[in-house]
Amino acid sequence: MANHVSASFLTRANALFRKNLTYQKSNIWSNVRLIVIPFYLCVLLVGIQVLFDTQVNNSPDNRCGCRCIDEKNGDGKCERKSCGLQYSNQTQASFCALPNPPPLLSLLQIPSPETRSVDRAHGSCRRTGSCPVTILVTGNNHSLGATLSQNLLDTSFTVNSSDNFFRNLAYNVLGTTSEADYTNYYDPGIHSDLPIFQIQPRCIPPTNLSFSFRQSPVTFHKEVRCVQGLVLWRNNSVEVNDEIFKVYRQGNPEEIINEVVAAFDLLDTGKNNFNVTIWYNSTYKGNFKLQDRRVKYVRVPRSVNLVSNAYLQFFRGSGTKMLLDFVKEMPKQESMLRVDIASVIGPVFLTWVIVLLFPVILNSLVYEKQQRLRIIMKMHGLGDGPYWMITYAYFLVISTLYIICLMVFGSAIGLKIFRFNDYSIQFVFYFLCINLQISLAFLVSSVFSKVKTASVVAYLYVFGSGLLGGSLFQFLLEGLSFPRRWILVMELYPGFSLYRGLYEFSVYAIKRNLNGSDGMKWKHFSYSAMDEVFYIIIIEWFLTLIAAYYIDRVSSSGKDPLLFLKKVFKKPPSPQRQRHGSTVTIGMEKLDVAQESEKVKQLMLEPSSTSHAIVCNNLKKVYPGRDGNPPKMAVRGLSLAVPSGECFGMLGPNGAGKTSFINMMTGLVKPTSGTALVQSLDICQDMDRVYTSMGVCPQHDLLWETLTGREHLLFYGRLKNLKGSDLHQAVEESLKSVNLFRGGVADKPAGRYSGGMKRRLSVAISLIGSPKVVYMDEPSTGLDPASRRSLWAAIKSAKKATAIILTTHSMEEAEFLCDRLGIFVDGRLQCIGNPKVLKGRYGGSYVFTMTTSSEHEKDVEMLVQDVSPNAKKIYHIAGTQKFEIPKEEVRISEVFQAVEKAKGNFKVFAWGLADTTLEDVFIKVARTSQAVNVFS
Ligand SMILES: *[C@@H]1O[C@H](CO)[C@@H](O)[C@H](O)[C@H]1NC(C)=O
Ligand SMILES: *[C@@H]1O[C@H](CO)[C@@H](O)[C@H](O)[C@H]1NC(C)=O
Ligand SMILES: *[C@@H]1O[C@H](CO)[C@@H](O)[C@H](O)[C@H]1NC(C)=O
Ligand SMILES: *[C@@H]1O[C@H](CO)[C@@H](O)[C@H](O)[C@H]1NC(C)=O
Ligand SMILES: *[C@@H]1O[C@H](CO)[C@@H](O)[C@H](O)[C@H]1NC(C)=O
């Protein structure tokens, strides 16, 4: 016999831990598949990177242009290549090496004809493309401004072929309508077919000239066109601003679009100081996005030179000139496009990879809930504490392994998002994320009761987080106008806080890949906003853990988790319902039932007496009415005392309330009123302690499909504080007693058992560790006669030190196993007592059956009347008749004689005389009490 000290916290934790371990061992392949998923996704990312490298990063367009200069073998292979600006097109040029950058004309940016500032009177120039371009001037001294304005533009176009080429052009004010490039050695304004404009005060006569220049080895021919330049005075800078702002009022066709070349504010410029503000259009600068950190060149030097030159001429006369011949880029080495596409799309992928664990955890939690495995473990003494601790630790270990695999694979395979950032900061981040994820799964699992709905919702969360993160969240994050505090609010959604962290990792990896700066280190912790993400995750982790634990406690104690909400909205109970409740107590109490409740009353007076393992005192269960139906009275006051060593059988038709009773006793539902003492412990208060000495065999087998019978018994045995050799001995005995021993059945997974084998295993589970009380709900349904016999033997031998309550529909079983029986109809015990006593009381008659041809039915009736005048016909069909004959009126020998005599008179096909069975008693009791209840 095992010792009866209940198992400690650690013992129970250990039991669950070992069960989970065996469970995982049998699920090894699905675990391996899970851990391999990161590997697949990393390979996919690397594949995309390779594809991107060959198609984009390494494409000829994204590096300096080259030409073959030595093809002497003639086999199509190039022996020697020469790369450089001269072989490059516009996109290639910016990647070329530039040891000695060429000089470049400095041009003004002038607006295209259709956007030039015009007043309405001259609107027709838009059509001919001959609109003048405008330069605005303002300042504190109007007369000074007027003088400078005259000096701004030269009157003629001069080309002196003997002079230096650039010096020559520098005399003129030249501009282009095309945008500048990223660098300053390739200018589409010069290196393309577009004409160059020379800005002059007047274009009469139209001077259309051209020049050509050589930039080794190509010679460019440029056409020079005249464009009229208007230099206009404005009273102050407010006016200038106002006029330039008109560019954007494009909604109204009456409004003019007003782009200007440049505007100068001369401020307080005078004889002694030259002070000028220049307006220029920097929209050409290129956008400052993650993918495009290059900045376009802005055409501003020439306008600075223009106004400086005008000021110098105002001092020294028109003979003196300050000329800007050319500008020159700094030397640089050859480069090529290096976009780390894996890091760019990494956050979306990695969000998926990490969040993918969420459905796995949630499903496993909801599965244990849906299959009621959690509750059956609880009934066998596994408290909430060990369950939480071990389940959490288990998921944490799995997730951590998963994350480590992800980081190791990712780094090994060369993903820069892993390699370029500090590993400790990455690990801490992922570790926090999975903790939040697990506690979130615990919290969410309380909402679901079906695995299917849980998976659908969980996968929506997975894909939603990745896709919304990649599109919406990242978009808002990069758009600088979105308020930062709203970003913080969005990060409260766990999918987005994960995304944010990954995004920061990717940004640092991309930067390091582009220009060799640092990856993310702890010193960037607060600069990169990682600190906010960390704090949010840590706080949410604690809050969800607390909420999950609270909801679990509340719902496992049978209350609704949203109880506090319901209280607020609850209507006061209607008085009608209470009246209904009081009428049901009226009923005819049978003598034996009354005796039982007397006994219970006595026992309740001395609650510490241990003679009776189970004492139920007037237990009631009322299910509230739903959808307008009246409340359902499942159990209407049940008093019962079962001593240790007794097996109490509960018979009753379906729906009589037997299962409700068992559910109350096992803590699944709370009684509406009344209570029960189990081993002197109140089930309403001390259920957790009751569980440690309880065994349950539920109506439906609650087993893990992949665990073997032996593993089940080992687990429940450990929960019952069996250890070492005791444990193994108990398991062996238990397997033998329920006939699950031969043929290695015990070591097959329970999922492959037949219905009967599962049933026997359930019974063995309920009996292991010699519990003090055992509840069995129809233990032998679906068993073949041989197994049933051995099962009964097992129950009978377990009965010695245990109080057993069992419900059954098999009268044979009730008769064989039970010391006492109660017939339970319509929520109430109708009678209670030893099977023999019951039979005597309710079945004081024999049943006489005789089959003849139908014309002799009357003769049979006469015969029975002779034997016993009080006999009642209870059954009659096609010549077969059944009569109930009171025992005290007949002797069996008389019946035999009468039948022998009758056989001489007519043909008797068959006949029989039987004592009443328990079945007859049951039917009788059930019928009469149902009739009474309908009546009342
Ligand atoms: C404005 O500039 C002129 C020179 O063009 C100068 O003679 C005059 O004194 C200036 N006026 C003021 C108010 O500074
Ligand atoms: C051309 O330039 C040379 C040298 O600077 C100069 O001597 C000559 O006068 C210039 N010719 C014209 C037409 O400006
Ligand atoms: C600018 O100032 C002059 C003289 O002070 C005045 O006549 C003119 O109306 C002003 N222009 C505007 C647009 O205010
Ligand atoms: C600046 O340049 C952009 C691009 O050509 C143009 O759309 C915009 O209207 C310009 N803004 C002004 C004030 O001229
Ligand atoms: C240029 O003008 C600004 C604004 O009026 C003024 O603050 C600054 O002192 C001036 N600079 C010089 C050198 O006069």
Ligand 3 atom 14 nearest Cα: 235
> What is the structure's pLDDT at 291?
40
pLDDT over 80 at 182, yes or no? no
Question: Does 447 lie in the same domain as 307?
Answer: no
Question: What CA–CA distance (Å, rounded) separates 879 from 851?
Answer: 5
Ligand 4 atom 7 nearest Cα: 283
Find the domain containing 879 and state its range: 844-915
CATH of the domain at 878: 3.30.70.920
**Cβ(471) – ligand 3 distance below 6 Å:** no
**Mean pLDDT of the 746-770 span:** 87
Which of 523, 540, 556 is the endpoint of a domain? 556
**Cβ(276) – ligand 5 distance below 6 Å:** no
pLDDT over 70 at 573, yes or no? no
Which ligand is in closest contact with the Cα of 156? 2
Question: Does 376 lie in the same domain as 309?
Answer: no
Indicate which atom in ligand 2 lies nearest the CA of residue 161. 1
pLDDT over 80 at 41, yes or no? yes
Strands (E), 810-878: 820-825, 828-833, 845-852, 872-877
pLDDT over 60 at 539, yes or no? yes
At residue 169 the predicted structure's pLDDT band, cuts being 50, 70 and 90, is confident
Question: What CA–CA distance (Å, rounded) separates 534 from 498?
Answer: 10
Question: Does 181 lie in the same domain as 118?
Answer: yes
> What is the structure's pLDDT at 161?
62
At residue 530 the predicted structure's pLDDT band, cuts being 50, 70 and 90, is confident
Ligand 3 atom 7 nearest Cα: 235
- Phi and psi angles of residue 61, each rounded to the nearest 5 degrees, phi first: -75, -20
Task: Give pLDDT tens digits for 688-724.
Answer: 788 888 888 888 888 888 888 899 999 998 888 888 8
Tell me if 525 is assigned to some domain.
Answer: yes
> What is the structure's pLDDT at 585?
38
> What is the structure's pLDDT at 581?
38
pLDDT over 70 at 561, yes or no? no
- Distance of CA 300 from the midpoint of ligand 1 (Å): 28
Question: Does 271 lie in the same domain as 189?
Answer: yes
pLDDT over 90 at 430, yes or no? yes
Q: What is the pTM of this model?
A: 0.66
pLDDT over 70 at 47, yes or no? yes
For a pocket test of ligand 5, which of 266, 269, 271, 275 has the largest count of ligand atoms closer than 8 A to its C-beta?
Answer: 275
**Cβ(242) – ligand 5 distance below 6 Å:** no
Task: Give pLDDT tens digits for 284-316.
Answer: 544 444 444 456 778 889 999 999 999 999 888
**Mean pLDDT of the 237-243 span:** 90
124-131 long-range contacts, Cβ below 8 Å, gap at least 24? 130/228
Tell me if 859 is assigned to some domain.
Answer: yes
Higher local confidence (pLDDT), 162 or 906:
906
Tell me if 380 is assigned to some domain.
Answer: yes
- Per the structure, the count of domains in the chain is 3
Ligand 2 atom 5 nearest Cα: 163
Indicate which atom in ligand 3 lies nearest the CA of residue 235. 1
Which of 521, 556, 591 is the endpoint of a domain? 556
Give the angle subtended at the CA of 818 by the CAs of 814 and 823, to the nearest 5°: 60
The answer to whether the CB of 492 falls within 8 A of the CB of 536 is: yes
**Cβ(160) – ligand 2 distance below 6 Å:** yes
Question: Does 473 lie in the same domain as 408?
Answer: yes
Q: For a pLDDT cut of 70, what percent of the chain falls above it?
A: 87
Which of 168-172, 332-336, 465-469 is modeled with the greatest confidence? Answer: 465-469
Residue 317 neighbours by CB under 8 Å, 6+ apart: none
- Distance of CA 536 from the midpoint of ligand 5 (Å): 49
Question: Does 206 lie in the same domain as 281?
Answer: yes
Indicate which atom in ligand 4 lies nearest the CA of residue 259. 14
> What is the structure's pLDDT at 207?
59
Which ligand is in closest contact with the Cα of 270? 1
**Cβ(267) – ligand 5 distance below 6 Å:** yes
**Mean pLDDT of the 750-769 span:** 87
**Cβ(275) – ligand 5 distance below 6 Å:** yes
pLDDT over 70 at 738, yes or no? yes
Ligand 1 atom 2 nearest Cα: 144
Question: Does 413 lie in the same domain as 458?
Answer: yes
**Mean pLDDT of the 236-243 span:** 90
Question: Does 233 lie in the same domain as 361?
Answer: no
**Cβ(164) – ligand 2 distance below 6 Å:** no
pLDDT over 50 at 778, yes or no? yes
pLDDT over 90 at 580, yes or no? no
**Cβ(729) – ligand 3 distance below 6 Å:** no
- Mapped onto helix, strand or coil, the DSSP state of residue 435 is helix
Least confident of 304-313, 605-614, 615-624, 727-736: 605-614
pLDDT over 90 at 544, yes or no? yes
- Distance of CA 148 from the midpoint of ligand 2 (Å): 26
**Cβ(73) – ligand 2 distance below 6 Å:** no
Task: Give pLDDT tens digits for 806-846.
Answer: 888 888 888 888 888 888 888 888 888 887 777 777 766 78
Question: Does 238 lie in the same domain as 192?
Answer: yes
Tell me if 526 is assigned to some domain.
Answer: yes
**Mean pLDDT of the 788-792 span:** 83
Tell me if 451 is assigned to some domain.
Answer: yes
Task: Give pLDDT tens digits for 331-384.
Answer: 888 877 777 888 888 899 899 989 988 998 999 899 888 888 888 888 887 878
pLDDT over 90 at 210, yes or no? no
**Cβ(243) – ligand 4 distance below 6 Å:** no
Which ligand is in closest contact with the Cα of 275? 5
> What is the structure's pLDDT at 535?
93
Average pLDDT, the chain: 81
Question: Does 348 lie in the same domain as 298?
Answer: no
Tell me if 796 is assigned to some domain.
Answer: no
Indicate which atom in ligand 4 lies nearest the CA of residue 258. 14
- Distance of CA 205 from the midpoint of ligand 1 (Å): 36
> What is the structure's pLDDT at 575?
42
What are the helix (H) ranges across 414-516?
416-419, 423-445, 451-468, 474-478, 484-491, 494-515
The total of other beta-carbon atoms located within 10 Å of residue 493's CB is: 18
Indicate which atom in ligand 1 lies nearest the CA of residue 141. 1
> What is the structure's pLDDT at 616?
86
> What is the structure's pLDDT at 545?
92
Tell me if 454 is assigned to some domain.
Answer: yes
Which ligand is in closest contact with the Cα of 142? 1
Ligand 4 atom 11 nearest Cα: 281
Can you read off the two tokens belonging to residue 398? 């799995």
For a pocket test of ligand 4, which of 283, 298, 303 has the largest count of ligand atoms closer than 8 A to its C-beta?
Answer: 283
Cα–Cα distance list, 402 to 32, 355, 423, 480, 693 (Å): 10, 11, 16, 35, 39
At residue 559 the predicted structure's pLDDT band, cuts being 50, 70 and 90, is low
- Phi and psi angles of residue 336, each rounded to the nearest 5 degrees, phi first: -145, 165
Question: What CA–CA distance (Å, rounded) separates 504 from 720?
Answer: 51
The helix-helix angle for 755-767 and 785-798 (nearest 10°) equals 10
Least confident of 200-214, 514-528, 582-596: 582-596
Convert 152-203 into a string of H (helix), E (strand) and C (coil): HCCCCCCCCCCCCHHHHHHCCCEEECCCCCCCCCCCCCCCCCCCEEEEECCC
Which ligand is in closest contact with the Cα of 315? 1
Task: Give pLDDT tens digits for 646-673.
Answer: 889 888 888 778 888 888 888 878 888 8
Can you read off the two tokens belonging to residue 76? 């199509």
pLDDT over 90 at 442, yes or no? yes
Ligand 4 atom 2 nearest Cα: 283
The answer to whether the CB of 860 falls within 8 A of the CB of 849 is: no
Which of 526, 556, 586 is the endpoint of a domain? 556
Tell me if 180 is assigned to some domain.
Answer: yes
Ligand 5 atom 12 nearest Cα: 275
**Cβ(235) – ligand 3 distance below 6 Å:** yes
> What is the structure's pLDDT at 2?
40
Question: Does 196 lie in the same domain as 128?
Answer: yes
* Cis amide prior to 561 (ω within 30 degrees): no
Cα–Cα distance list, 742 to 738, 739, 753, 786 (Å): 11, 7, 13, 14
Q: Are strands 845-852 and 820-825 parallel, antiparallel or unpaired?
A: unpaired
At residue 428 the predicted structure's pLDDT band, cuts being 50, 70 and 90, is very high
Question: Does 506 lie in the same domain as 385?
Answer: yes
